[in-house]
Structure 1
């Protein structure tokens, strides 16, 4: 099929080349031979009258023209996939579909176990690929590299639809033998203590973002990439971790920690699920979003009788 004399099959090759910036890796990704991918690049160069990828040392780097094509080409392919390859119906009990979710370790520990239990009951053949949220996870969603993104509402993209799953509050977590665990944790005691904070990749944790908005400055003495690790890192110290309350309650089951209300004002976190605007009616994602709503309710309910664990 051609459009304005361009073989549309070449868009798949172009997308792979711009993503991988390597002929061999692009060929592997699209299941083509290297010679076929080299031929595709030659045809693309002729059509766009641009080198697109140029050799710089041992790497290939995109030209300015190639950079301007990267997102539009990916958007076209996402639209095609959503419109043409999407199945007209989704039968959970018969499906072996792979769902790719971008999540934090907070979501992994609190929400996802309930999602897995419910999904296994309805669709035992369905598979999940749980990926960590890197910097700008919205880009993976927009490029069709993830099916769903579960993220605080404050950080989600305004270009795609989202749905509120649940709200979360924050609390202070301390070693149970810390002097700070005795008596009232006042704002002065909180602010004068050292803190264990989360620094997720190149981004900022929501708690820090909230505190920055309120001009609250903590003494960060330990930083970690993991929300879950905060509780273990205060044990044996007089430091404080500001944690999601549900995660803190989970950690309290196996760590000698004390949980206290925060003496400083922090808004509730609104956790949402987000999906690509072109995949709103995808039957599989409609089912999965409904299951996520059910899992969010199950988080705060006792497990059904006979449930393992």
Structure 2
């Protein structure tokens, strides 16, 4: 099909080329030969009168024209995908549909087991593809790379609908046999102790832990001497040391016995942690997305500590 003399199939190729910045990877994604993808790129270059992708050293870079067009092209493709994927009815006991869900390893430990148990109760045959954190989770939603985002409210996009799944609170954890175990965790001890901190992965050092935003507002400082990419690792990195860490209370509860830790209330007030679920606005009427949203909501409702 052509629109204003442009083969619309080339838009799919352009989307992959701009996203992957590689002719070979784009060809692999579309199950095409590299020569066929090179031909598609040449046709796109002729139509837009722009190189679109240029070689810079050993890598390909996107031109300003291609970068400017990409969000609109991706939005068109997401709308088409949403229309094609939407069926008037959805039966999870018969469907083999795969749902791509972006989660942190905190949610992986605390929430996902409840989701899987709920799927088992419903005899659901759908598949879950759990994706790791991203520095721009809303962009994965925009590109159609994720069906659901499970993310703190700070990282939720105002452009798409969302729903609160559950709330949690932060606590301080320490080794059950360390110097902090029998002490009072006051602000002075918290500020002078050595801290282990989780830094979100795949963020190129540009993102800070969620709790950091509140600590700065409160004027509270930490003596950080260890960072990790995983929430789940924090209790085990604290165990057997004099370090402490600030973690979600549900995570502390799940790992306390196994890791040999104790936990204390924070020595200052901090708002509860709000874990949200978000989906693309174009998928709002998709019965499959409606079902998976309800599934996660039912699982989140079981976390009723706060």
Establish whether TM, by shorter chain, passes 0.5: yes
Tell me, yes or no, if the aligned pair for 2:26 and 2:37 is still in contact at 8 Å. yes
1:230 aligns with 2:208: no
**Match for 1:280 among 272, 275, 284?**
284
Residue deviations 1:198-225 (CA, integer Å, cap 9, x gap): 1113322111121122221111121111
1:293 is matched with 297
Write out aligned runs for 1:170-249 (5 A): 170-201=170-201, 202=205, 203-249=207-253
Give me the whole-angstrom Cα distance separating, in 1, the residues matched to 2:141 and 2:152: 15
Give me the whole-angstrom Cα distance separating, in 2, the residues matched to 1:171 and 1:63: 47
Helix, strand or coil for the counterpart of 1:94?
coil
5+ unaligned residues in a row in structure 2: which ranges? none
Change (3 A) 1:27 1:281: same
2:84 is matched with 84
Aligned-pair Cα RMSD in Å = 1.6
Give me the whole-angstrom Cα distance separating, in 2, the residues matched to 1:187 and 1:59: 49
Deviation, 1:273, is: 0.3
1:156 aligns with 2:132: no
Tell me, yes or no, if the aligned pair for 1:174 and 1:259 is still in contact at 8 Å. yes
Tell me, yes or no, if the aligned pair for 1:164 and 1:270 is still in contact at 8 Å. yes
Helix, strand or coil for the counterpart of 1:141?
helix
Change (3 A) 1:17 1:208: same
Give me the whole-angstrom Cα distance separating, in 1, the residues matched to 2:21 and 2:131: 23
Q: TM-score, normalised by structure 2?
A: 0.93
2:20 is matched with 20
Give me the whole-angstrom Cα distance separating, in 2, the residues matched to 1:142 and 1:287: 20
Give me the whole-angstrom Cα distance separating, in 2, the residues matched to 1:234 and 1:186: 18
Deviation, 1:300, is: 4.9
Change (3 A) 1:92 1:183: same
Q: Aligned residues, how many?
A: 301
Helix, strand or coil for the counterpart of 1:265?
coil
Tell me, yes or no, if the aligned pair for 1:95 and 1:123 is still in contact at 8 Å. no
Q: TM-score, normalised by structure 1?
A: 0.92
Write out aligned runs for 1:51-62 (5 A): 51-62=51-62
Deviation, 1:38, is: 2.2
Give me the whole-angstrom Cα distance separating, in 1, the residues matched to 2:21 and 2:238: 44
Helix, strand or coil for the counterpart of 1:88?
coil
Residue deviations 1:47-76 (CA, integer Å, cap 9, x gap): 111111223344332222111122211111
5+ unaligned residues in a row in structure 1: which ranges? 302-309
